[in-house]
């Protein structure tokens, strides 16, 4: 499965923060049931790596690690069973390591220089981050214009209300959003409802 395949699985990739390992499987089940199979677990808590391993056991889930910032975190995420890697930015050592490991990789970009660094490594799919703080959709349109071969997953400040506008822009394959996976105790019914709303967004 390529990063392009993963990005086209559903219009929204949940950006997930797991504080307690007990939350991992119920959250994954609810999101998958609602139609969001691609799950990005951010490496922002001590429970994250165990959560990735636990979520991998949920039928239909495609589980990856987010907030991967260096080669050690990349190695740890892969060891935990991550099927793809998302990073907030792009460094050459991290990019080369992800390519060497032959794992789908979605690095964060916010400038033309970032995109060019990725292209030099052979990468064409990027996370536009932080999407709203970096100038919103007008900024992405300007950034995407010289790079027709590139595709994007805007993340950061995306909501159910503004997601359709982003998804209507052809180079955007999906968006990343935390609203579908509220932090804390898991209300599976609510999460499934939020996931279903997100999965129904048209691209």
Closest by Cα among 187, 188, 180 to 36: 180
Tokens of 27: 């959250």
Other beta carbons within 10 angstroms of residue 8's beta carbon come to 14
96 has catalytic annotation: no
40 has catalytic annotation: yes
Q: What is the CA radius of gyration of the chain?
A: 16
Tokens of 102: 């032959």
Residue 187, SS3? Answer: coil
Backbone dihedral angles phi then psi of residue 127, each to the nearest 5 degrees: -90, 125
Angle in degrees, CA 166, 172, 178, rounded to 5: 60
Give the Å distances, CA to CA, from 79 to 16, 53, 82, 148: 19, 9, 7, 35
Alpha-carbon distance of 7 to 39, in angstroms, equals: 11
Q: Which of 22, 40, 83, 141 is catalytic?
A: 40
Cα dihedral 36, 42, 45, 48 in deg (nearest 10): 60
Q: Which of 22, 127, 165, 188 is catalytic?
A: 127
- Active site amino acids: 40, 127
């Amino acid at each position: 499965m390529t990063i392009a395949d993963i990005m086209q699985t559903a219009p929204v990739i949940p950006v997930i923060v797991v504080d307690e390992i007990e939350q991992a499987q119920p959250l994954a089940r609810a999101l998958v049931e609602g139609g969001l199979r691609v799950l990005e677990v951010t490496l922002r808590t001590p429970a994250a790596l165990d959560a990735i391993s636990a979520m991998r056991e949920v039928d239909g889930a495609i589980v990856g690690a987010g907030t991967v910032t260096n080669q050690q975190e990349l190695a740890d995420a892969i060891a935990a069973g991550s099927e793809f890697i998302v990073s907030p930015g792009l460094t050459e050592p991290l990019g080369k390591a992800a390519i060497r490991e032959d794992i789908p990789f979605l690095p964060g970009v916010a400038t033309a220089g970032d995109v060019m660094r990725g292209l030099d490594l052979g990468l064409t799919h990027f996370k536009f981050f932080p999407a709203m703080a970096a100038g919103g959709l007008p900024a992405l349109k300007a950034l995407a214009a010289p790079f027709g071969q590139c595709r994007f997953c805007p993340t950061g400040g995306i909501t159910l209300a503004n997601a359709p506008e982003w998804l209507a822009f052809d180079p955007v394959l999906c968006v990343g959003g935390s609203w579908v996976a509220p932090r804390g105790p898991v209300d599976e019914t609510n999460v499934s409802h939020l996931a279903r709303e997100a999965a129904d967004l048209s691209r």
